[in-house]
Structures are given as structure tokens and as C-alpha cells.
Structure 1
Amino acid sequence: MKTERKYGEIHPGIKWGPFTMRLPGYHLKLNPSQHIQGGLILLATCGSITPLMMNYFQVSFEVAWTVSLVMLFWVLAQTILFGDIYAAGAITPALPLTLVYMNTLNPGIEAIQGMMALFIVVSLLFLFFGATKLGEKFNAMIPVALKGGIIMGAAIAAFQSEINRLPDMPFSLITSWIIVLVLMFSIPFSKLPDTRSKIMAGSNALLLSLLAAGIVGFFTGEMTYTMEWGFFIPPVTETVTTLSIWAVGLPPFEVFLAVIPIALVIYVLAFGDLVVAHTLLKGADKARKDEKIDINPTRSHFVLAARNLGQIMTAGPLLWIHGPIWTGVQVFLIERYKKGQSVMKSIFDGPMNFYIMAIPLGLLLPVIAIIMPIFPVALSISLLLTGFACAYVAMNLVKTNISRGLVLAIGMLTAVHGPVWGIGVGVVLYLLLIGRHGEKSDESLSISDDEEGDKNKAAS
């Protein structure tokens, strides 16, 4: 079996249908230096919604943590089992809007069925637009101002949730916010000389912000650490009987109808993630001529459908919707990839090494005891970065003052009253203020099927 690629070829693996399996240590080179850092960051970020799941789904910590560990399996499967090119993640901008929807449901079975219906409808959208390749046309049909308003809604909902959370942990949250914003977005910081310390700090912004918040939280009394020893034994039977589709059953038809608007919004956000990922990988492809990067949007749609359906069939829904890319990690891995084969042999090595230790670490009680108090901070950082990025993306999509005002209005309605009100009122306002012919934008939301064809030819 081929494990070494020739110069300029796609990295080899085991083909099955439209997918390619690549095994760690056989097709992909293990890099232990990335295992601990990646595993801890992934656990802290993924586990950050554990308290929310306990609240909305009325389940124990053990069940909620088990569902998160299953999510990590499907995240890793994107690289190893399905062979997609991106560093997998969740559709993070959808989380604030999902929480708005969850707040309209009763905790327990109603919330579980609502989230399950959302998973199923989003998965069907991925299958439909992947099979028909109509995703780009569907996104082109949505007016830019309306799309910007939806994205702004995610930003406002994210900021609103964190402002409400601030009184509970003011010192820890403010510390983490300042560090992550300075290291990732500060113009003065970016103008400093590119020393090794600066590069290391920027590359580990998430980890540093969590460590600093953990230390501050300990000394201010906002966090309490209780060390435990041993192994976490996932309560598989309880999880399946509580949350899986086999035990809960299909949600009522009216629940499916209710989630269609938010599912369409989530698909738009996911398509935007694919475009961002596509752009990042094109830059990596130009930097390294020894490996052909196989960007295939149709395959990506099928992988996302499989991951989301796999999640509800194996452990039930969670509050994250599986998405194509964890942007911060993807940028970090691409920068490492650009440094050459001595640092990262294949583009697939990066996500595999960054994610592979997350589940083993998540089964160690000492690790769980250390990161549990940091969960609220990890969630806060995720939502803050989501809000910050969504806000500037939304405002950058439109070029006139009327459109900017419309984006803000739609965003407020979406964040406060949900996507149905945001989209409905937004369409009316768009027709009244801008007109059906719309206006031009510099937006570039496209994934070329011609380019995809060129990649497939290279593969063959």
C-alpha cells in the first residue's frame, strides 16, 4: 500500500467512496510536540458547553462530558476517516443563535428534540447542496445586506451573552478577553518586532488566555480546583438512553418546521466557513509545491452531513453544530505547514496531531479536574472571538450607510427575537430601503467547481 507521495501529488491514503482514510503513524507522521497543547485546548473549548448542556438537556455532568468526547471523535474523523483537508471544528457563529432558540424551549425532552431536529435538518441541507452543488447559487441569491445582518445577529447575541456573564467572573473573564484580543487582533502588538517570543505568544493565544484566567481566577476566588485521580468511565448506556435518537425518537413534524429558518441561517454561516477555509488552503497550496492540496467542496458537504448525523446516532445532539473549520487552529497549522516538510510533512499531519490526544486526555480525572473550572472562560473566549470576527465580517460585506444600518437592524432582531423575525423583517426592510435589484459588493463567497475539477484531475 502506498504511504509515500511523489513530488506534487495528493498525499496517499485508503480510498473508500468519495473519502480517503489516512492512518496515524502509517500515512500520517506523529508529532508528539503538538499532542498535549492541542488536546488541552480542544478539551477546554469543546467542554465549555458542558454546563449549558446540563442546563438545557437536564443531564448529569458525566452524560454531557461523554457527548463532548463523542464530538471529539467525529472532529478527528474528518481528517483520519474521511480525509477532508480542513482542521475540523464547529459552526461557532451559530452557537449564539442556537442558544436564542434553546431559550424558547422547555429544558429536558423538548430542548433535546429541538436540537435533534436542528441537527437533522442541517445535515439534510449539507447532503442536498453537496449532491446538487447548488450551495454557491443559494448563497448568491441571498442579498448581501441580509447575509450581513444574519452574521451581525450572531455577533450581537455573542456579545450580549458575555456581558450578562461578566458579573459572575469579572476578573477571570476580563483577563482572558484582554490577552486573546491583544495577541490576535491588536495593531500595536502586530507592529512589534517578530521575535520568537512574540510569535510563540501569537501562536498560543488561546492557551495563554486560558492559563492566565485560571491563575487570576484561583487567586480571586472565582475558580476552585479540586484534584481527583483515576479514569473517567463514560456512562454509555445512560447517554444513549437519555439523548440518542434511538431512545428519544424522531421529533414531531412541527419541530422540524420550526427549525428550518435557523437551519438555513446555519448553512449560510457554514458555507462562509468553507469559503474562509478554501482561501486559507489556497495560500498554503502556493507555498508548498511538494504536496497537492485536494480542496473538494462537494466532499466537504458530505463529510459535514456524516459528522452531524453520526453525532445524534451515537450520542445524541449537543449545542455545537459540526462545522468544517476551527479557524484559529487552521491558521496556526497552515503557518507551520508553510515552513516546510521538516516541520509538517503533509497538510493532513497538522489536524491529526493537534486533535489526536484530546479523547485520551479527556478520560483522565486529573485533567478534567484542572480544566472544569476554566469551562466558563473557554466558552466566553469562543463567543467573544466569534462576536468580534462576525461583527467585522458583517460590516465589511456592505459598502453604504443604508446597508450598514440595515445590517445592524437585522442583527438586533435576529439576536433578540430569533432568525424568523430577523429574516422576515429584514426582507421587507431590504425591499423598502434598497430595492429588489440590490447593490454591488466586494464580497467573494464562491468555491469554484472548475477548481475542484482541476484538483480531481491532479488526483487521478
Structure 2
Amino acid sequence: MIEPMRTPAGRARRDGWNWGPFTFRLPFYHTRLMWPEFLQGLLVSTATGLALVPLLMGYFGLSFEQAVTCTLLHSVLLVAALYVFGEPYAPGWNTAALPLVMAFVFSQYTQPEARFQAMTALSIGFAALVFVLGITGLGRRLMEWLPSTLKAGIILGAAIASFKQVFFDDAEKFLWTQPISTTVACAVCLVCLFSIPLHKLKHGNRGVMLLVSLGMLPGFAAAALVGPLVGEVDYQVQWGWMVPPVAETISRMSPFSIGWPSADMYLRAIPLVLITYVIQFGDWVTGDAVLRDGMPARRDDPVDIDPTRSHLALAIRNFISALVAPFFSTQGTLWTGVQVVVVQRWKEGPRAMRDLHSGMLSYYLMGLPFIYFLLPLLTAMKPLLGIAL
């Protein structure tokens, strides 16, 4: 297991209020607003944060307002990793596990209540596993035992399952309703994310670097422009504010309202919980590698890498999510693209970014989920959510 990074004085630097192994950093007080990260996050968070809305509406029976509120709850818990627990990673979904989760839940259960109960079982089981493995050190032993070929097979299987779900099983529901826009979005995303010539150009061109750093957003923007031209997207923007129906939404999902998972659900969830932890551990390894690459350039801003804290924070977030808004694998540790983008600018020195936590929290809108209250933004995004999925 990776040891915590310490300051020369032998003490981890913590600009915040300590509570147990965690550090609370009050936005705007312990952290400074970084406008470049804030503006990028405003665009990217809007597109990606609402990507689950079609799933929640189509497979879990929620209304648009309830689905947006569920996403709001997920976002609040996700960003808590930064300012409540003091994690140095850009939090995100455990994306590689999401296709496996959907395949498990959709194939085993047909009713929305049962599907939410299955999500609760997965979240609680995962929280318990992460908590135990973190405090005992068994997680490191598990990863040493698991062969690399098996890890690769799990990730490849998740990718194939996702491809089959979108392009075959649910093609009539999503793909064939907006085929041209979806194709354009996929093509632009593939170029921005995986084009080797484009990634070579980013080292000498700030415009290309910005384009690449936005991840899937350019593809989403291209679809937003092409969709109306080909008649696949019809914007019906509504003005005003949306008041998220929090209590109503929680009552549709929470085990306190719909009932707790059965023992059989917990038992069926065990294999997927173990697989998700393997994928999750890979995210920690990736995040640590990105941080350690930037540390030599920022001796003035030491970063505390603490695996025990990371395990406990992840366990707490997943447990709370299970109680109020269960949707397993949305409470992960790392959004790799954001981690790389923020650390790259952090490496440029204090003039570019005062400290890592300010940059991270700025990308997540300083922990203020105001985008979920802006009705014009939400209604403008609504016809594009199937493409985002």
C-alpha cells in the first residue's frame, strides 16, 4: 500500500479543520476559486452529471425532475470527497463497473423498487468491503494475489457489456432515435480521447491541449449543433428556476421508504462488489501516479496520500448513498481526465494554481450544485441526454 506523503517536518500538511483522519476545507475560506477550472467544470459537469437521467427515467420509473434531483444528491456526495474528507483525487463514477452493474440489476429485477433495493445491497456491501479492507490492509494483499490477466479481462468484459447494451440491447430506445447526432458525438469523442496525432499536437498547442482536456464535451457540443440541423433535436427551453423535489425523490429510492434488500440480494451482490473493488483499486493506483508525477514541481504544496483515509471516505460516501439515493458505482474515487487536467496546471506553479485542493474544488464548482436549479440549462440539456448516455 502506498504510504502517506509527508512534509519535510514529518507532518502531513493540512490547510483545513481536522476531524479524525479527514480534513474539512471550507470552500472560499480554505480554498480559492480558480476561474479556468471553474469554467471548464461548469460545462463538463453539466453534460456528464446529467448522463444518468435517461437511465433513471427509463429503467427506474422516475420523472425528469426526480431524476435530476437524484443526480443532485449523487453530486453532493461525490464532491464531499474533496472538501469534507480532504481527498486529493478528482472524484468520479467507477465507470468501468457501471455496465456490469446495469447488466446485473436489469437482468435480475424488473420492478423499479426491486432495482433500487439491489442498488442499495450493492452500495452497502461495497461500503462494508472497502471499510474492512482499508483498516486491515487486506486490500493490498488482494491486489497482489489477483493476476494481471484477470484484471484486464474484467475491464475488457465491462467494455464489451457496455457496447452491447448501448448498440444492440437498447439501440431502438436511444441510438436509432438520434442516429446521426449520436454517430457524430461518438466520432468526435473517439478522436479527442484516443487520436495519437492529436495528442502529440497538444504539447505545443494550447488550443489542442484545451480541446483534449475537455474529454467528451467536444463530442457532446458537436451533437448539440448537428442535432437541430438534421431534425433529431428539438430544444424547448423553459425559463425560471427548478426546485428539486428532494423529499419526494428520496421516498422513491430510499430503503426506509421502499423496504430493505433481502438476504438473497446481498448474496447475489457479492461477486460484483468484489469485481468493483478490483477496478476501484486500479483508480487509486492511477490517481497516485498522476499526483506523484506532479509532486516534484510543487514542493511548496505537499499532498497527503493516505490509503486508509481514502478507503474510509469511500466507504462512508457509498453507505450514505445507499440510504438516500442508491445507484451503485456513482460514488467512485477518480475522474481520470479531470485529475490529469488539474494536476497539469498545478505543476505550472503557484502563479497558475495556489494549491491542488483549490484547483480540484473549483472544477467541481466549489461544491455548489447550482446547475441543478437552473431550469433553462436543464431543459436545454434534456433532448441531448440520450446522446450523452
Alignment TM-score, normalising by the size of structure 1: 0.77
Structure 1 residue 349 displacement after superposition: 1.0
Give distance in 2, aligned partners of 1:143 and 1:191: 33
**Alignment check: 8 A CA contact 2:192 2:216 kept:** no
Structure 1 residue 284 displacement after superposition: 1.4
Aligned equivalent of 1:46, options 33, 36, 49: 49
Structure 1 residue 109 displacement after superposition: 1.2
Structure 1 residue 200 displacement after superposition: 2.0
**Alignment check: 8 A CA contact 1:176 1:377 kept:** yes
User: Which residues of 2 match residues 67-146 of structure 1 at below 5 A?
Assistant: 67-104=70-107, 105-146=109-150
Equivalence for 1:434: none
Equivalence for 1:28: 31
**Where does structure 2 lack aligned partners over 5 or more consecutive residues?**
1-6
Structure of larger gyration radius: 1
- Cα 1:362–1:373, aligned 2, differ >3 Å: closer, same or farther? same
Equivalence for 1:215: 225
**Alignment check: 8 A CA contact 2:154 2:275 kept:** yes
**Alignment check: 8 A CA contact 1:35 1:354 kept:** yes
Amino acid of the structure 2 residue aligned with 1:174: T
Q: Secondary structure at the match of 1:110?
A: helix
Give distance in 2, aligned partners of 1:373 and 1:284: 40
Give distance in 2, aligned partners of 1:372 and 1:328: 24
Structure 1 residue 356 displacement after superposition: 2.0
Structure 1 residue 11 displacement after superposition: 4.3
User: Which residues of 2 match residues 19-418 of structure 1 at below 5 A?
Assistant: 19-104=22-107, 105-164=109-168, 165=171, 166-192=175-201, 194-313=204-323, 315-356=324-365, 359-379=369-389
Give distance in 2, aligned partners of 1:116 and 1:368: 27
Alignment TM-score, normalising by the size of structure 2: 0.91
Amino acid of the structure 2 residue aligned with 1:227: V
Q: Deviations over 1:3-50 (max 9, x none)?
A: xxx999724110001100111111111123432431331232121111
Give distance in 2, aligned partners of 1:320 and 1:265: 11
Give distance in 2, aligned partners of 1:149 and 1:302: 28
Equivalence for 2:3: none
Give distance in 2, aligned partners of 1:373 and 1:267: 34
Give distance in 1, aligned partners of 2:245 and 2:238: 18
Give distance in 2, aligned partners of 1:306 and 1:215: 41
Amino acid of the structure 1 residue aligned with 2:272: I
Q: Deviations over 1:62-96 (max 9, x none)?
A: 11211110111111111111101101111000111
**Alignment check: 8 A CA contact 2:93 2:334 kept:** yes
Aligned CA-pair RMSD: 1.8
- Cα 1:319–1:370, aligned 2, differ >3 Å: closer, same or farther? farther
Moved more, 264-273 or 171-180: 171-180
Structure 1 residue 161 displacement after superposition: 2.6
Give distance in 2, aligned partners of 1:107 and 1:67: 18
Amino acid of the structure 1 residue aligned with 2:312: F
Give distance in 2, aligned partners of 1:235 and 1:191: 47
Moved more, 9-18 or 130-139: 9-18
Equivalence for 2:17: 14
Amino acid of the structure 2 residue aligned with 1:32: W
